[in-house]
């Protein structure tokens, strides 16, 4: 017997029929002899709808009240799944964030889980009851409802799995695993049997939205075995215990498997950044600090940075990226600091995309970046900025060339599936 936490995303929970399919998957998992807890997302599109209501009510909304509104989507689906399980003859009940409780920080709209009291859950599971938990929500120190940031139900599921010391956390979604790139963009993407925490963390953080980044760092920290798999399956599909999806596990476990290691694990894209260029910044100590200190103080995350030194003029151009949602705020801050920083002009472009290749193989292989630059150059794709880490190379390009760049790189690194339809 094992203890399994199952998480179902928004597409899987969208409507009565789909919830019934989910309930059957849960019922089968319990019938296989396991203790089961389920974490659910709101129905697809519901959180967006609720966010829009908040914006309409008050564009400068109070995040604590925003959380009251947006957390409601998961309350609905957790109750509906419990009802549907009961209709199938299962014992089931919902546990809202404040009832367990899932204790979080007070950072409304982007709260972090601090602790989960597992006592009630363990007792419920041991009694053969299926515990249904709304993802995305928790309760702050002052007893108000919080949410964990978009995509946060993945993190709820991993946190519950860690709290109940689950044998596995199965993340059910609308694709049957983690692929070498978004399978909705590249038909020749290949499903990966296993991915290391480190690689998945990097892939998620550069835009592979199949898992929320924080859920992967938590799984890595707590050693939670995660499987990504599809909920769109027939009743006679192979059981989750036979590991039909993608396992996200430690380096040692991947090394020990028979899966052939590729140099590059995957390619991701991110259209959520914008580029800012400051021209003719004085080339002297402290100039760059003058640019980035006000942005940091405003909580704006700067990602890629390049500085083009022009020796003859004693001036440089500084290019960097910020989240698109923070572009207007960043521009206003920089314009207000023109005299202190001493730049000539500030330009911005939101029509950009960041393309990243990720793989632990890079640690021991040279030439990964040059393959990328050459493949893009051969297609006439211009690179506007570059950044690297030990296991990742990212480039910034024109947004219109996103799909082309991902496809070209997928082929250049030999990742294309042989048998897929083109």
Q: How far apart are CA 318 and CA 316, in angstroms?
A: 6
For Mg ion, the binding residues in 3-22 under the rule CB under 5 A are: 9
Three-state DSSP state, 35: strand
208 binds, among ligand ASP, Mg ion, ligand ADP, none (CB under 5 to 8 A by kind): ligand ADP
CB < 8 Å & 24+ apart, contacts of 128-131? 128/30, 128/91, 129/91, 129/92, 129/93, 130/26, 130/30, 130/36, 130/37, 130/38, 130/82, 130/85, 130/90, 130/91, 130/92, 130/93, 131/36, 131/37, 131/38, 131/92, 131/93, 131/95
**Per CB under 6 A, does 416 bind ligand ADP?**
no
Q: What are the φ and ψ backbone dihedral angles of 81, each rounded to 5 degrees?
A: -70, -40
Nearer to ligand ASP (CB atom), residue 97 or residue 152: 152
CA–CA dist 344, 352 (Å, integer)? 23
Pairing between strand 385-389 and 392-398? antiparallel
Q: Which residue is nearest to ligand ADP (CB)?
A: 9
From the CB of 294, what's the least distance to ligand ASP, in Å?
30
In this complex, which beta carbon is closest to ligand ADP, that of residue 42 or of residue 334?
Answer: 42
CB-wise, 72 or 250, nearer to ligand ASP? 72
Shortest-Cβ-distance residue relative to Mg ion: 151
Which single residue is written with the structure tokens 């030439």? 367
What is the smallest separation between the CB atom of 227 and ligand ADP, expressed in angstroms?
13
Task: Specify the stretch interacting with ligand ADP by CB under 6 A; choose among 3-11, 28-36, 130-138, 408-416.
Answer: 3-11
Going by their DSSP bridges, the two strands 130-134 and 168-173 should be labelled as unpaired
Q: Are 271 and 399 in contact (CB under 8 A)?
A: yes
Q: C-beta of 157: minimal distance to ligand ADP in Å?
A: 10
- The secondary element (H helix, E strand) that includes residue 270 is strand 266-270
Question: Segment near ligand ADP (CB under 6 A), from 169-177, 299-307, 339-347, 382-390?
Answer: 169-177
Closer residue to ligand ASP, CB minimum distance, 174 or 416: 174
What is the residue whose two structure tokens read 């296989």? 32
- Considering the rule CB under 5 A, would residue 151 count as an interface residue with Mg ion? yes
- Least Cβ distance, residue 174 to ligand ADP (angstroms): 5
Of the candidate residues 28, 93, 209, 225, the single one contacting ligand ADP (CB under 6 A): 209
Residue 136 interacts with, from Mg ion, ligand ASP, ligand ADP, none (CB under 5-8 Å by kind): ligand ASP
Q: Which is nearer to Mg ion, 157 or 278 (CB)?
A: 157
Pairing of strands 130-134, 35-40: parallel
Here the tokens at position 101 are 């409780």
Contact in structure between 32 and 241 (CB atoms under 8 Å): yes
Cβ 358 to ligand ADP shortest distance, Å: 10
Tokens of 134: 């709304």
> Binding of ligand ADP at residue 178 (CB under 6 A)?
yes
Residues of this chain that bind ligand ASP (CB under 6 A): 9-10, 41-42, 47, 73, 135-136, 150-154
Q: Does 182 bind ligand ADP (CB under 6 A)?
A: yes
Question: Which parts of this chain interact with ligand ADP (CB under 6 A)?
Answer: 9-11, 41, 151, 173-175, 178-179, 181-184, 208-210, 266
């Amino acid at each position: 017997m094992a203890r399994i936490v199952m998480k179902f995303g928004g597409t899987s929970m969208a409507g009565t029929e789909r919830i019934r399919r989910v309930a059957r998957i849960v019922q089968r998992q319990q019938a296989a002899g396991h203790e089961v807890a389920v974490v659910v997302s709101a129905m697809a599109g519901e959180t967006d709808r609720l966010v829009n209501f908040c914006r309409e009510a008050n564009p400068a909304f109070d995040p604590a009240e925003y959380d009251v509104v947006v957390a409601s989507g998961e309350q609905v689906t957790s109750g509906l799944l419990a009802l549907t399980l009961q209709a199938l003859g299962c014992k089931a009940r919902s546990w809202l964030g404040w009832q367990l409780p899932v204790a979080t920080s007070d950072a409304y709209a982007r709260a972090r889980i601090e602790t989960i009291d597992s006592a009630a859950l363990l007792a419920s599971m041991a009694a053969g009851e299926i515990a249904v938990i709304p993802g995305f929500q928790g309760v702050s120190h002052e007893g108000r409802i919080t949410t964990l940031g978009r995509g946060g139900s993945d993190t709820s599921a991993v946190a519950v799995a860690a709290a109940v010391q689950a044998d596995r956390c199965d993340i059910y979604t609308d694709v049957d695993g983690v692929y070498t790139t978004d399978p909705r963009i590249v038909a020749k993407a290949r499903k990966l049997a296993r991915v290391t925490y480190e690689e998945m963390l990097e892939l998620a953080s550069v835009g592979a939205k199949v898992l929320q980044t924080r859920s992967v760092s938590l799984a890595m920290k707590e050693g939670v075995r995660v499987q990504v798999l599809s909920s769109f399956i027939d009743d006679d599909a192979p059981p989750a215990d036979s590991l039909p999806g993608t396992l996200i596990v430690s380096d040692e476990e991947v090394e020990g498997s028979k899966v052939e290691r590729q140099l590059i694990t995957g390619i991701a894209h991110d259209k959520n950044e914008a580029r800012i260029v400051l021209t003719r910044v004085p080339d002297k100590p402290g100039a760059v600090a003058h640019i980035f200190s006000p942005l940091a103080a405003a909580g704006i995350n700067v990602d890629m940075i390049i500085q083009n030194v022009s020796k003859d003029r004693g001036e440089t151009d500084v290019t960097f990226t910020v989240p698109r949602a923070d572009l207007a705020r960043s521009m206003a801050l920089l314009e207000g600091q023109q005299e202190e920083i001493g730049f000539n002009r500030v330009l911005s472009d939101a029509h950009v995309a960041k393309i990243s290749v990720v793989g632990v193989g890079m640690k021991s292989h040279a030439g990964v970046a040059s393959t990328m630059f050459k493949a893009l150059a051969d297609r006439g794709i211009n690179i506007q900025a570059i950044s690297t880490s030990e296991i990742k190379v990212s480039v910034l390009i024109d947004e219109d060339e996103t799909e082309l760049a991902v496809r070209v790189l997928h082929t250049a690194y030999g990742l294309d599936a042989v048998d897929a339809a083109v």
